[in-house]
Structure 1
Amino acid sequence: MRALSGVLNPALVLAVFGLYPCATVAPKEGWQVYSSAQDADGRCICTVVAPEQNLCSRDAKSRQLRQLLEKVQNMSQSIEVLNLRTQRDFQYVMKMENQMKGLRTKFRQIEEDRKSLMTRHFQELREKMDDLKPLIPVLEQYKMDARLISQFKEEIRNLSAVLTAIQEEIGAYDYEELHRRVVGLEGRLRSCMSKLTCGKLMKITGPITIKTSGTRFGAWMTDPQASQRNNRVWYMDSYTNNKIVREYKSMADFVSGVESRTYSLPFKWAGTNHLVYNGSLYYNKYQSNIVVKYSFETGRVLAQRALEYAGFHNVYPYTWGGFSDIDLMADELGLWAVYATNQNAGNIVIGRLDPDTLEVLKTWNTEYSKRNAGESFMICGTLYITNSHLTGAKVYYSYSTQTSAYEYTDIPFHNQYFHISMLDYNARERVLYAWNNGHQVLFNVTLYHIIKTDDSS
């Protein structure tokens, strides 16, 4: 979802489109998408783009220009040395050319009167002429090189003039003034972004296959609360009888299989619906309805708490089984647990959790059977439920915790490898992580944002 309108130099841009999909327009070089909004048909309403972080760095830009100018000056000096050497060799060849012309004249004279010369003298002249013949193409090449060097010198002079002009132009800007303009535009941008409500799921595209590894069932994830520079990946194979978590420093390391660290959890896990959130792993303890919070930094359990009345150990799993009774997930609003209870007749219960204590802050009872759900995930406080884990699955039902209301939906997605045992939303990347029959895949999501106005209630 990208769009770009006229550029505000040097800071930020808010572009509004109503006719074209966001994906058809890309920001110019040096700009990146800050956020975007679109309507129910996927058409772009509002896209905010911003310059890359180093775009307004006067010092970095000037330093790059100075380095470039120094390289150009070094090139110019090298060209000058080459030119002097070429001119010197050229003069030598010109001298040889004059000697050749003189020899040709003498040779013609000798040819006219060769009967009067001895055969030996004639042969000596012939040999000298043969020795000089290879110099003819050399002479022509030196003439071409001399012209080329002259062109190089002219281009170097032009380039130096352009770079000097650019450097002078950048130096003319007042850095403090530019900084004030950037800060002001950032404030206006944040004001605009505050009017964007949380998004509603409209479309799922993909999948993109990242890797094929492990057993048929498992989980993999990144931390939605991590900084942009932190791209660690965690990998948990199988749905039971395991407590080894593998860590990779980046997606590239994950693809190539370069592990950075492994963790041995104090308890085995149940199911595949684990979550890494703000540096800690949240998972369902095997053969219990207890949620465990484990710190990767300290290697210790920070908290554990039972979900009251929650079914476990294949009492209320998803359609594929695998002890998937308790599903832990996170979205833009926080940490959630999805499970079922006898009190709610085996239908799904949504629980809002405190990330530190694991206390259930509030619950919502839905009317959708947990055993009939393929998988589920939260986006902006709304639970989306798929009707199957097999081919032909689609997002069939959604429940909003903000309105305590549900609706039936019809959002298809491509179950490429025919069996999904884990599906989880990452709010930082706005993608769905999935474990699809031993394949680790990503789905892109399209969200519909409503822009609040001052007159909105």
Structure 2
Amino acid sequence: WSRVSSSASCSQTVHCDPMYFIMLNLPVILLLQLVPGSMGKDGLCHCVVHLANDLIPLKKLEQLQSTAQELMDKYDQELLRVSEYTCTTEGQDNQVLEMNGEAPIYNLLCLQLERPQELVTWLMAKGGLSESVTHILGISFPQVANASLILKLLADSDQHDLCALRQEVDSLKDQLRECEREKEEVASGHSGPPLPPGSCDHGGLQKVSRPFVVQLNWRGFAHKAGTWGRDSAPSPDSSLYWVAPMTTDSRYFDYYQMYKSYDDLVLMKNYEKRSFGYGDGSGNTVYKNFMYFNYYGTRDIAKLNLSSNTLVLRRPLPSATYNNRFSYVGVPWKDLDFAGDEKGLWVLYATEESKGNLLVSRLNTSTLEVEKTWQTNQYKPAMSGAFMACGVLYALRPRSTHQEEIFYAFDTNTGRERHLSILLDKMLETLHGINYSPLDHKLYVYNDGYLINYDLGFQMLKHKPSKLPAEKFSWFPIAPKSVKPNKTSSP
């Protein structure tokens, strides 16, 4: 095992260098048992080294060392790949978002680390190793297992963060599309000052704002059906607000409250609560301090004086269906739907002769007689509601539980109709009473017990309406039936 030159004193004890074996970065020192040397015939000093009996064979140790070194090399390579991947993801977040559910590299690393774990497990189970080597393998096995666990946690965290980022990006995309839609709508019209109260100097409805929730109705959430708004007569002096929740069966109109201002409504003060048990459905409206509604169980139009809370006039609407015959989809008992706008007082309804298609009639507010009627091509039970603005009917239909669409318009001034698509968000599923106010160009909606309103945006004009061709807005005639009222007909 060791030689010394002839010049060395053979009587001295030869200290042979110890052998160091590196395994898993931990030194294993094989201590040599030394004896004094002797001079041979060849003039060289020889020493004999005796190995301890408990040491493992050298060949097995060399194989173990080689296997362990290969294991550590692979382990270092995988850790390096993890580090490179982490740097890549931090600098290229956009590429991570385009992975579309592909498994990150962490999963691959976990699979590759399973082989070293199996190797160490096999070596420990095979036995025949010294106590020191077994100790080293016992240390290395938890290290590899911990590395695998860390990679799994990183993979889970990466997937969670990726899902969160995708949700945030989807939300931002939706907001961007909404902004682009509003931008296009604004760009399609002419900019100008806000419309004065009662003005029709515009080219028709262009957009609807997001809903503004005022409050829950004063009778509570159980009263899902109802209607509310303000006096729709185009008079700036009127500041009356009213709220009329229906009974819990969504049919009977028996109470209403009036407020002198919007602040009083919000603060629930200075109000007058009235009882009047003759209404049917949520088609009420207020025009010039009178409330108009469908008299219970009949086709009659009723006129209520709000100052005295007395019924001043009641008159049947010829041929109108009632008792929920042709009501709106999802809104029962709304056979007669009243509306006030810049042009006067209107009633929207259907008849058996129209086969359920919507009729629009302008009423004489003094006598409640029908002055003129227009028939549309729209089936009333396919609509969710309608309102009038500047003599134009706008009809809604449901798109989802959180969105409606204003899809149809009929102009009583020209007898023309057009199809459009103006989206209207809603807080809850059903829009019951819908009333338009010419004073502030708002839409007042009773949404499953909540009072909400919308700002309406109209297309501004550079010229007076009389000089604007109707074809500019894609209106087209439908040859409507103009029905003259039969004043001599019986109820």
For normalisation by structure 1, the TM-score amounts to 0.56
Q: Could you say what secondary structure the match of 1:335 adopts?
A: strand
Q: Could you say what secondary structure the match of 1:393 adopts?
A: strand
Do the aligned partners of residues 453 and 399 (structure 1) sit closer, same or farther apart at CA in structure 2, a change above 3 Å counting? closer
Do the aligned partners of residues 197 and 414 (structure 1) sit closer, same or farther apart at CA in structure 2, a change above 3 Å counting? same
1-structure distance, mates of 2:267, 2:338: 28
Do the aligned partners of residues 453 and 221 (structure 1) sit closer, same or farther apart at CA in structure 2, a change above 3 Å counting? closer
What is the 5 A alignment of 1:443-454? 443-452=454-463
1-structure distance, mates of 2:269, 2:188: 38
What is the 5 A alignment of 1:150-161? none
Match of 2:232 among 221, 224, 231: 224
* Contact 1:205–1:444 under 8 Å retained in 2: yes
Give the fraction of aligned pairs with identical amino acids, expressed as a percent.
Answer: 24
Match of 1:251 among 262, 267, 270: 262
2-structure distance, mates of 1:256, 1:376: 30
Deviation for aligned residue 1:304: 1.5
- Please report the RMSD computed on the Cα atoms of aligned residues, expressed in angstroms: 3.0
Aligned to 2:242: 234
2-structure distance, mates of 1:373, 1:356: 30
Aligned to 1:456: 467
Aligned to 1:201: 205
* Contact 2:253–2:281 under 8 Å retained in 1: no
Do the aligned partners of residues 410 and 453 (structure 1) sit closer, same or farther apart at CA in structure 2, a change above 3 Å counting? closer
Deviation for aligned residue 1:210: 0.5
* Contact 1:283–1:292 under 8 Å retained in 2: yes
Aligned to 2:187: 41
Q: Could you say what secondary structure the match of 1:395 adopts?
A: strand
Q: Give CA deviations for 1:18-67 in whole Å, capped at 9, x if unaligned.
A: xxxxx99xxxxxxxxxxxxx9973654432799xxxxxxxxxxxxxxxxx
Do the aligned partners of residues 308 and 456 (structure 1) sit closer, same or farther apart at CA in structure 2, a change above 3 Å counting? same
Aligned to 1:144: none
* Contact 2:253–2:282 under 8 Å retained in 1: no
Do the aligned partners of residues 318 and 48 (structure 1) sit closer, same or farther apart at CA in structure 2, a change above 3 Å counting? closer
Q: Give CA deviations for 1:276-300 in whole Å, capped at 9, x if unaligned.
A: 1101111111111111111112332
What is the 5 A alignment of 1:64-213? 197-213=201-217
Q: Could you say what secondary structure the match of 1:253 adopts?
A: helix
Tell which deviates more after alignment, 445-454 or 210-219.
445-454
Match of 1:274, as an amino acid? Answer: N
Q: Give CA deviations for 1:126-184 in whole Å, capped at 9, x if unaligned.
A: xxxxxxxxxxxxxxxxxxxxxxxxxxxxxxxxxxxxxxxxxxxxxxxxxxxxxxxxxxx
Do the aligned partners of residues 453 and 437 (structure 1) sit closer, same or farther apart at CA in structure 2, a change above 3 Å counting? closer
Unaligned runs of 5+ in 1: 1-22, 25-37, 51-192
Do the aligned partners of residues 439 and 42 (structure 1) sit closer, same or farther apart at CA in structure 2, a change above 3 Å counting? farther
2-structure distance, mates of 1:205, 1:383: 19
Aligned to 2:312: 302
Aligned to 1:403: 414
1-structure distance, mates of 2:228, 2:384: 18
2-structure distance, mates of 1:369, 1:259: 42
1:363 aligned onto 2:370: no
Q: Give CA deviations for 1:333-360 in whole Å, capped at 9, x if unaligned.
A: 1110000001111100000101111110
Deviation for aligned residue 1:217: 1.1
Match of 2:444 among 410, 433, 438: 433
* Contact 2:445–2:453 under 8 Å retained in 1: yes
Q: Give CA deviations for 1:307-341 in whole Å, capped at 9, x if unaligned.
A: 11111111010001320111000111111000000
2-structure distance, mates of 1:380, 1:350: 13
Aligned to 1:318: 328
* Contact 1:289–1:307 under 8 Å retained in 2: yes
Do the aligned partners of residues 406 and 49 (structure 1) sit closer, same or farther apart at CA in structure 2, a change above 3 Å counting? closer
* Contact 2:202–2:465 under 8 Å retained in 1: no
Q: Could you say what secondary structure the match of 1:310 adopts?
A: coil
Do the aligned partners of residues 39 and 394 (structure 1) sit closer, same or farther apart at CA in structure 2, a change above 3 Å counting? closer
Q: Could you say what secondary structure the match of 1:243 adopts?
A: strand
Do the aligned partners of residues 303 and 367 (structure 1) sit closer, same or farther apart at CA in structure 2, a change above 3 Å counting? same
Unaligned runs of 5+ in 2: 1-181, 469-491
Do the aligned partners of residues 230 and 363 (structure 1) sit closer, same or farther apart at CA in structure 2, a change above 3 Å counting? closer
* Contact 1:199–1:380 under 8 Å retained in 2: no
Q: Could you say what secondary structure the match of 1:255 adopts?
A: helix
1-structure distance, mates of 2:297, 2:261: 32
2-structure distance, mates of 1:455, 1:427: 20
1-structure distance, mates of 2:466, 2:441: 29
For normalisation by structure 2, the TM-score amounts to 0.53
Deviation for aligned residue 1:363: 0.3
Match of 2:394 among 366, 384, 397: 384
**Rg larger in 1 or in 2?**
2
1-structure distance, mates of 2:447, 2:355: 30
Aligned to 1:104: none
Deviation for aligned residue 1:418: 2.2
Deviation for aligned residue 1:240: 2.5
* Contact 2:226–2:432 under 8 Å retained in 1: yes
Aligned to 1:418: 429
Q: Could you say what secondary structure the match of 1:413 adopts?
A: strand
Do the aligned partners of residues 428 and 258 (structure 1) sit closer, same or farther apart at CA in structure 2, a change above 3 Å counting? same
* Contact 1:240–1:286 under 8 Å retained in 2: no
Q: Could you say what secondary structure the match of 2:264 adopts?
A: helix
Tell which deviates more after alignment, 387-396 or 332-341.
387-396
Q: Could you say what secondary structure the match of 2:210 adopts?
A: strand
2-structure distance, mates of 1:284, 1:298: 19
1-structure distance, mates of 2:466, 2:447: 46
- Alignment length (residue pairs): 280
Deviation for aligned residue 1:368: 0.4
Aligned to 2:282: 272
Q: Give CA deviations for 1:70-97 in whole Å, capped at 9, x if unaligned.
A: xxxxxxxxxxxxxxxxxxxxxxxxxxxx
* Contact 2:348–2:361 under 8 Å retained in 1: yes
1-structure distance, mates of 2:235, 2:466: 35
* Contact 1:246–1:259 under 8 Å retained in 2: no
Q: Could you say what secondary structure the match of 1:322 adopts?
A: coil
